[in-house]
């Protein structure tokens, strides 16, 4: 029986080049943006994956080096969330959100024995959990901060009614920031019906077992839901308490009831 796994080579290179060129042509014809966006992103992604492949080939052989790779990924996720939140230095607090998200899931998987304490298992699953927690954290922080700026009058109204700063901010932050959980929920609800996520496809191509692929995918999906829920909950609290804030919005006057 032949393998169905995609292998590197000239056909793969040509196919990717054609698809990138086609996307660039669509950008150009429809005015979506610079036609260089997709080709440059594709080249960058290919180079990054080539470098990561070389690193992982050596790192996954040992547990300590695998954990080091995961730690580097965590640092990169923190910087990415901080940049997307547009919250200046205060975005460093989002480290707590990501740490809570991944800390609630990965240790549980390892302690249960479902995921073996091996680099080849910890890094891929940990990376998926971390990446999704990063996306939810970035989105929750950005939307929460946007809500405070756009609906500041409602915050002041809450303060005038006797709410604390935290509670008044939470009234506008929570509805906006919880939208960050919708993509993860939708993906879980529609898995197998609308989409076949990467973990499923990867395991299926590697093993040929649909049952094993399904087991890995449901583990990842539920883990992502827990990680995102925890990360967003912490992010909302940080924004409501003004630990994470926009630099130009830090000194807004408090309501003076006296």
Domain end position, chosen among 34, 59, 84: 59
CATH number of the domain enclosing 72: 1.20.1640
User: What's residue 97's pLDDT?
Assistant: 94
The number of folded domains in the chain is 2
Q: What are phi and psi of 165, to 5 degrees?
A: -55, -45
Q: What is the pLDDT of residue 253?
A: 45
Q: Please state the separation of Cα 226 from the chain's center in Å.
A: 13
What is residue 189's predicted lDDT score, i.e. its pLDDT?
83
164-192 exposure pattern, b = at least 16 Cβ within 10 A, e = fewer: eeeebbbbbbbebbbebbeebeebbeebe
Does residue 15 lie in a domain region?
yes
Range of the domain at 121: 63-249
Give 10-residue mean pLDDT values along the chain (258 residues): 62 90 92 88 89 78 84 91 86 92 92 85 88 93 90 86 88 88 85 68 65 79 92 93 79 44
């Amino acid at each position: 029986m032949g393998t169905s796994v995609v292998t590197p080579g000239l056909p793969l290179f040509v196919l990717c080049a054609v698809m990138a060129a086609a996307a660039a042509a669509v950008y150009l014809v429809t005015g979506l943006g610079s036609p260089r966006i997709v080709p440059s992103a594709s080249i960058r992604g290919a180079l990054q994956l080539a470098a990561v492949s070389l690193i992982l080939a050596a790192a996954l052989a040992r547990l300590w080096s695998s954990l080091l790779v995961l730690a580097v990924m965590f640092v990169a996720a923190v910087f990415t969330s901080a940049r997307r939140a547009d919250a200046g230095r205060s975005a460093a607090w989002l480290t707590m959100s990501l740490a809570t998200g991944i800390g609630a899931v990965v240790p549980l998987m390892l302690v249960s024995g479902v995921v073996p304490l091996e680099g080849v298992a910890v890094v891929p699953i940990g990376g998926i959990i971390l990446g999704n927690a990063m996306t939810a954290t970035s989105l929750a922080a950005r939307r929460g901060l946007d809500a405070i700026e756009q609906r500041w009058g409602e915050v002041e109204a809450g303060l005038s009614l006797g709410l604390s700063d935290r509670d008044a901010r939470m009234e506008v932050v929570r509805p906006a920031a919880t939208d960050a959980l919708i993509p993860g929920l939708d993906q879980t609800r529609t898995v197998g019906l609308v989409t076949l996520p990467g973990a499923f496809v990867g395991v299926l191509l590697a093993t040929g077992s649909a049952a094993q692929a399904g087991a890995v995918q449901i583990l990842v999906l539920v883990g992502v839901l827990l990680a995102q829920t925890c990360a967003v909950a912490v992010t909302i609290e940080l924004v409501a308490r003004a630990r994470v804030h926009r630099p130009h919005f830090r000194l807004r006057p408090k309501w003076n009831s006296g």
